[in-house]
Amino acid sequence: MRPRTAFVSALSLIFVTGCNLLNGRCTYELRSLEVSGSVDNAGGQPASAQLALSEQRGSLQGQSIHWLVTADALKGHVLSATFKDNADLSKVLLDLTVANADRPEISQGATSTSTGANLAGFHDILDAGRGVVELQTDLGAQPTIRIPVDATSSSGWVRPFCS
């Protein structure tokens, strides 16, 4: 009698909560974090960076990051763009592709763990306010420009399709 009671209780809980556990839609969690920042560079025009990190855990696993870096005054002068942890600026965590000079952005792109990117620890770095986008330029007066980024929106772990 006891196993039947446990089974009925578990089944009732699933139906009452509206969880889609039985069809596989309630077996993972999501969280996201968006950050941005800007600095004035020589000439008074800002260089800005925006990044969005999304993570999944559970039956679906993975991380992805999207970014946009702009700086009109630096177009054609940026040699490299990287994402770093302000706690250790000697280590490049992610290379950001530099756009052609005829494009409106300095860098725009996305990558994910499904394509082989190592994004481990990125959430902790960004959430702690230690994320930095670093631009290396061919400008003698400003060879390195660092854009610190801070959180603009964040959502903790949520289970979509579960109520």
Taking the whole predicted model, whether its pTM rises above 0.75 is answered as: yes
pLDDT for 85-113, tens place per residue?
A: 999 999 999 999 999 999 999 999 999 99
Distance from C-alpha of 2 to C-alpha of 10, rounded to nearest angstrom: 12
Q: Characterize 128-157 residue by residue with b for buried, 16 or more Cβ atoms within 10 angstroms of its Cβ, and e for exposed.
A: eebbbbbbebebeebeebebebeeeeeeee
pLDDT band of 7, cuts 50, 70, 90 = very low
pLDDT for 26-43, tens place per residue?
A: 888 999 999 999 998 756
Distance from C-alpha of 145 to C-alpha of 27, rounded to nearest angstrom: 43
| First-residue to last-residue Cα distance in the chain | 30
